[in-house]
């Protein structure tokens, strides 16, 4: 896992080989998300089973609300062979930096 500040994360998520992964709850995800992100709730009991279906040849830019859950998710993903990047400060930091959010 690589920890990235907002500017670095914003640059990385433009790559075609990067999947933006929101690990918040579906309710949080519905309130606004980083464009092109997919949602898999790290607190769900089937989180590991869900991420196991993802393509390990891609990189994953992981975020949550404040950066805590995304660290846990990225570490779990790294343990099973994924390459991950974590957004320091989560979507809160993203919004504070005036980055785009979509419904």
Backbone φ and ψ for 6, nearest 5 degrees, come out as -55, -50
* Assigned token pair, 22: 């929101």
Catalytic residue at 76? Answer: no
Contact 89, 41 (CB under 8 A): no
Angstrom CA distances, 11 to 4, 28, 69, 83, 103, stand at 10, 24, 22, 16, 21
The catalytic position among 6, 64, 73, 76 is 64
Residues classed as catalytic: 64
């Amino acid at each position: 896992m690589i920890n990235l500040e907002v500017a670095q994360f914003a640059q990385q998520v433009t790559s075609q080989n990067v999947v933006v992964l929101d690990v918040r709850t579906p309710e949080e995800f519905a309130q606004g998300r980083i464009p092109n992100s997919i949602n898999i709730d790290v607190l769900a009991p089937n989180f590991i089973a869900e991420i196991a279906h993802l393509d390990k040849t891609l990189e994953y830019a992981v975020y949550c609300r404040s950066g805590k859950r995304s660290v846990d998710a990225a570490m779990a993903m790294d343990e099973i062979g994924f390459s991950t990047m974590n957004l320091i400060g989560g979507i809160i930091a993203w919004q504070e930096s005036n980055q785009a959010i979509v419904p």
